[in-house]
Amino acid sequence: MTTATRPTGYAGTLALTALTPIVWGSTYAVTTEFLPPDRPLFTALMRALPAGLVLLALTRVLPHGKWLGRVAVLGVLNIGVFFPLLFLAAYRLPGGVAGVLGAVAPMFALGFAAVLLAEAPTRRKVIAGVVGIGGVSLVVLRGTVELDLIGVIAGLAGAASMAAGTVLTKRWGRPEGVGPLAMTGWQLTAGGLFIAPLALVLEGAPPALDGEAIGGYLYLGIIGTALAYWLWVRGISRVPATSVSFLGLLSPVSAAVIGWIALGQALTTLQIIGLGTALVGTVLGQIPSRAVPATVDGPSAVPAAPARLPVNA
């Protein structure tokens, strides 16, 4: 059913979607404080596959027809490639550098949207991207940092992968009768299955886990992945893909605030200025160049009949 978008409804959708990068900002602290070191693939696997399987069990809907290929592509871009590269950058680079590289994602999204969605990048959004990167840089970069080439490549490639996945998710929409929760489960499962053999071959057997590690993985899987990605997929279906991508600037800002509150990391005056600048970039990225189109409650793609799991699956 199609309904006119109300400003309050649009703002509410943006606010809920913004919770995702805010939650993602806790990933670095959880990874460094609670999880086994130097296991990016295993950590990515534990974050994706269990959450995906739980969502599949809850929704009891499987992709069908052309959506098998589409889900594989989205799962690899949004999860299977992005997660390992995210953790690889986090392990090999200072958190600040990794955060700046991630802040480049909106600029990648502008380019992909121009090609895949015929959305020409506006001057305002380009400026917003530059402002956002500058603000994040002030927040997270401290003094002289050593750059690891593999970490830098991983950070940039991860940002590009996530941006491409976000834009393609907007382009393809969802099949008839499939909600954001099922779509999230499909992508997490597909991405987790892509990561699993790589983790086994490249990192070997899983490490021993203590209580803190188990708690960290449960948090990342339930809150930082299943819930957060459901809100993200829901938001992509209702607002422009580039606007959603700009919300990602909140992630490094959130990470800095969490470090200040939970880890006792002091914020300098320059960092506080950076926080405000990054928020300005985020807001600029939300201002549409034309009136917000009508919101469609449901899929924006050609319907495809989903295959349902048996009740006792």
Whether residue 186 contacts residue 75, with contact meaning beta carbons closer than 8 Å, is answered with yes
* Pick from 279, 206, 287, 269: nearest CA to 41: 206
Q: Determine the Cα–Cα distance for residues 123 and 208; give it in Å rounded to an integer.
A: 51
Q: What confidence score (pLDDT) does residue 2 get?
A: 41
Higher pLDDT, 1 or 126: 126
> Model confidence over 222-247: pLDDT tens digits?
999 999 999 999 998 888 888 888 88
Question: Where do the domains of the chain lie?
Answer: 14-291
> pTM value?
0.80
Q: Classify the phi-psi angles of 266: left when phi > 0, otherwise alpha if psi is within -120 to 50, otherwise beta.
A: beta
User: Rounded mean pLDDT of 276-296?
Assistant: 67
* Pick from 183, 173, 217: nearest CA to 48: 217
Q: Determine the Cα–Cα distance for residues 148 and 38; give it in Å rounded to an integer.
A: 15
Q: Taking the chain, what is the end-to-end CA distance rounded to the nearest angstrom?
A: 31
Task: Report whether pLDDT(40) > 50.
Answer: yes
* Pick from 165, 123, 150: nearest CA to 40: 150
Residue 134 Cα distances to 6, 107, 138, angstroms: 32, 13, 6
User: What 3-state class would DSSP assign to 155?
Assistant: helix
Q: What confidence score (pLDDT) does residue 156 get?
A: 87
Count of C-beta atoms within a 10 Å radius of residue 280: 16
User: What 3-state class would DSSP assign to 11?
Assistant: helix
Q: Determine the Cα–Cα distance for residues 100 and 277; give it in Å rounded to an integer.
A: 13
Q: Determine the Cα–Cα distance for residues 136 and 297; give it in Å rounded to an integer.
A: 34
Q: Classify the phi-psi angles of 188: left when phi > 0, otherwise alpha if psi is within -120 to 50, otherwise beta.
A: alpha
> Model confidence over 65-121: pLDDT tens digits?
999 999 999 999 999 999 999 888 877 776 556 666 777 888 889 999 999 988 888
> Model confidence over 44-59: pLDDT tens digits?
999 999 999 999 999 9
